[in-house]
Amino acid sequence: MNFHLRIWKQEDRKAAGRFEEIEARDIPEDASFLEMLDIVNSRLIEQQKEPVAFESDCREGICGTCSMVINGTPQGPGRGAACQVYMRSFQEGETITVEPFRATSFPIIKDLVTNRKAYDRIIQAGGFITEHTGGAPDASTTLISKWDADHAMDAAACIGCGACAAACPNSSAMLFVGAKVTHLAALPQGQPERRERALKMVRAMDAEGFGNCSNYYACEAVCPANISASVIATLNREYVRAELSEAVQS
Ligand code: SF4
Ligand code: FES
């Protein structure tokens, strides 16, 4: 298959970016989007031209590293990560526009690569539990209902890719933070730090410059982990309860 690529090129955060036109010829229809970029880059290198910078790790849709915007949609067509997009989903001869995530809190490092450490810092603020070290306790010593286990696992599917903030007109990270807070609030292990976690993660999210949710649901539409926007309602409830509790105690 043959494609006409319009790819964003930008030397670094401060440099002016531009679209570059690149032909992608004789691409196998079973190639993934990243394999297509690998082929294009090999040819650019053979021609002693600068390859396109992009990130990847697992290439299995589970690490959230390959984030990019394909034809205006964070993570591209379908409901997986960008590495799960296959060239057969495009038309022969199609012009494909490829850009980095656009969010002030995800500054561009180079071309399609953005710095998404803001999400790591939000996790560091409170997205964890405290547990004793030593041997793993018998699973039957902590009873968890099927509903709670399923609810927690659904939220735990978030791969931290950042597509939610990139899709949101307000660059809101509330789907991501909501997923993490919902996951841990649903489990007994998450109870000791439950209130502190909601406060610290929401405050870290605000400090990183992410906006508020305005119910566009763009985040839910692009999320490769199918995280439901209902986690944002859970996050709001957790945060309000934690703030009230903090006010009563002070
Ligand atoms: S909520 Fe979805 S879109 Fe947002 S970081 Fe997690 S997996 Fe990515
Ligand atoms: S490279 Fe890991 S999700 Fe795409």
- Would you say residue 141 has pLDDT above 90? no
CATH no., domain 3-110: 3.10.20.30
Q: How far is the CA of 229 from the centre of ligand 2 (A)?
A: 22
Q: Please give the average per-residue pLDDT across 85-113, as a whole number.
A: 97
Nearest CA to ligand 1 atom 5: 160
Residue 153, token pair as written in the block: 């696992």
Nearest to 37 by CA among 62, 8, 10: 8
Q: Please give the average per-residue pLDDT across 170-191, as a whole number.
A: 97
Domain 117-249 adopts which CATH fold? Fumarate Reductase Iron-sulfur Protein; Chain B, domain 2 (1.10.1060)
Q: Please give the average per-residue pLDDT across 85-106, as a whole number.
A: 97
The domains of the chain are located at: 3-110, 117-249
Tell me which ligand sits closest to the C-alpha of residue 222: 1
Distances in Å between the Cα of 48 and the Cα atoms of 26, 41, 52, 222, 238 are 20, 10, 12, 36, 54
Q: Please give the average per-residue pLDDT across 86-108, as a whole number.
A: 97
Nearest CA to ligand 1 atom 2: 223
Distances in Å between the Cα of 116 and the Cα atoms of 4, 14, 103, 186 are 28, 17, 10, 26
Q: How far is the CA of 158 from the centre of ligand 1 (A)?
A: 5
Helix axes 174-185, 117-126, angle to 10 degrees: 30
Residue 182, token pair as written in the block: 């919902």
Q: Please give the average per-residue pLDDT across 81-93, as a whole number.
A: 97
- How does strand 113-114 pair with strand 73-74? unpaired
